Amino acid sequence: MGRYTQDRRRGGGRDASPPPPLLITLVSLDNGSTARIIFSASVTMAANAPDSSLTIAGIGLDSMYQSGATEITVASAASPGWVSGDAWSLSGQPGWLADAITPPQSGLVS
């Protein structure tokens, strides 16, 4: 078997596709001041630091923790009470997310 065929069988070589971009697939309420952010692939937290690159109903996040391989639970003490249907928006790379994510992304909380 030639080197080109070996590379293609292993998924490498010149024709290997880059991994798909990391996306937020769902923002789901846990209660009025915490929500789960579900990603399209496994993610790693970099730090638990306040950040306004991801907002829910225009409010930045002030705490977060890794709650699963593809999810991070976030909270904001400033939230008056998030509800289903609130808009969320990702405007930049969150400092608390170690993995590169491509903004802008937006949607509605479910």
Mean pLDDT of 42-68: 93
pLDDT at res. 16: 73
Q: Tell whether the model's pLDDT for residue 94 goes beyond 90.
A: yes
pLDDT at res. 105: 97
Please give the CATH number for the structural domain made up of 20-108. Answer: 2.60.40
- Global pTM? 0.82
User: Which SS3 state, helix, strand or coil, does residue 7 take?
Assistant: helix
pLDDT at res. 49: 84
Residue in the block written with tokens 């969150």: 94
88/90 Cα distance (integer angstroms): 7
Neighbour tally for 64: CB within 10 Å: 24
110/105 Cα distance (integer angstroms): 16
Whether the upstream peptide bond of residue 104 has omega within 30° of 0, thus cis, is yes
